[in-house]
Amino acid sequence: MKVDELIVYGKSKIHSQHAKMLLAALLNVNSLELLNYLDEEVPENVEKEFKEKVAELVKNRPIQYVIGNVNFYGEEFIVNESTLIPRFETEELVENTMIYLDEFFDTKNLKVVDLGTGTGCIGLTLKKLIPSLDMTLVDISENALEIAKQNKEKKGLDVDIVKSDFLEELEGPFDIIISNPPYIKTNEDIENIVKENEPHLALFAGEDGLDCYRTILSQCKNKLSKKFMIAFEIGCNQREDVTNLIYQELENVQVICKKDLSNRDRMIFIFSK
């Protein structure tokens, strides 16, 4: 079959954009470049794989897992069912963190820890943008850490990777803590494609969705530098609850909540006074 015929086949089964993304990935070209190959014959093995992966998408498997990678902050990251799929909101967490690092810190040799790293996308992106950071990636899932390791090696970045329940196995002190932790309530309704595919360990955080924030804030008290920043991604309805937790656990801090591009409360930054 030719490229255009396979696209038509894919569009008859799945979303047209997903069909193009999938075929482009298998042909190792950009989706927009497919227009240059519409009359080209597709090798039989690629045609077979395309149809098999279309069948996976029909069964409601996320396109990112089917392709095996995701674009985050302009970089390609390996992803699979052991890791949360990075979202655009988390790119905004990185973007705002960069702004605050530039504004308030001397970034040379800052000790930074990315808690619940998953693919490693947060910590590895920050390390690439600011090579002088002393970066540690942390997760409790060995399978997730294996993906983070693959992404580290793929990008050739010098970071430490540690298995730990957040800060439990780490000594510190850390200048910067950044985390997109699980924050969904145990009984909260979420999209089936998320609930049925992405790791529950990276999604759910107790009856009120705050368990991971409690753990991190409790653990960090003796593991922070005198001047520090903590950057959290939060659920869009968690601003007040997370802020209250912060003031219960930490003294002499300033808290700033930032909205995402959809005007939802999505990030909280904690600064030492």
Question: What digits encode the pLDDT tens for the residues 63-72?
Answer: 999 999 999 9
Domain count, the chain: 2
- The token duo for 168 is 């439990």
pLDDT greater than 90 at residue 31: no
Amino acid of residue 32 = L
24 shares its domain with 98: no
Pairwise CA distance, residues 147 & 41, whole Å: 34
Give domain status of residue 103, yes or no. yes
Q: What is the pLDDT of residues 145-202, one digit of tens each?
A: 999 999 999 999 999 999 999 999 999 899 999 999 999 999 888 888 898 888 898 9
| The predicted structure's pLDDT at residue 143 | 96
> Has residue 68 been placed in a domain?
no
In a domain, 70, yes or no: no
Which residues form the domain of 97? Answer: 82-272
Residue 48 lies in a domain: yes
Is 71 part of any domain? no
If asked whether residues 29 and 155 sit together in one domain, one would say no
Say if residue 45 is in the same domain as residue 93.
no
**Alpha helix (H) ranges present in the chain?**
3-11, 16-27, 44-58, 63-67, 88-104, 121-129, 142-155, 192-195, 211-219, 239-249
Task: Read off the pTM.
Answer: 0.91
CATH of the domain at 142: 3.40.50.150
Q: Do both 249 and 210 map to the same domain?
A: yes
- pLDDT tier, 109 (very low <50, low <70, confident <90, very high otherwise): confident
On whether residue 74 sits in a domain, the answer given is: no
User: Which of 64, 67, 71, 33 is CA-nearest to residue 49?
Assistant: 67
Looking at residue 36, its pLDDT comes to 87
In terms of domains, do 89 and 158 share one? yes
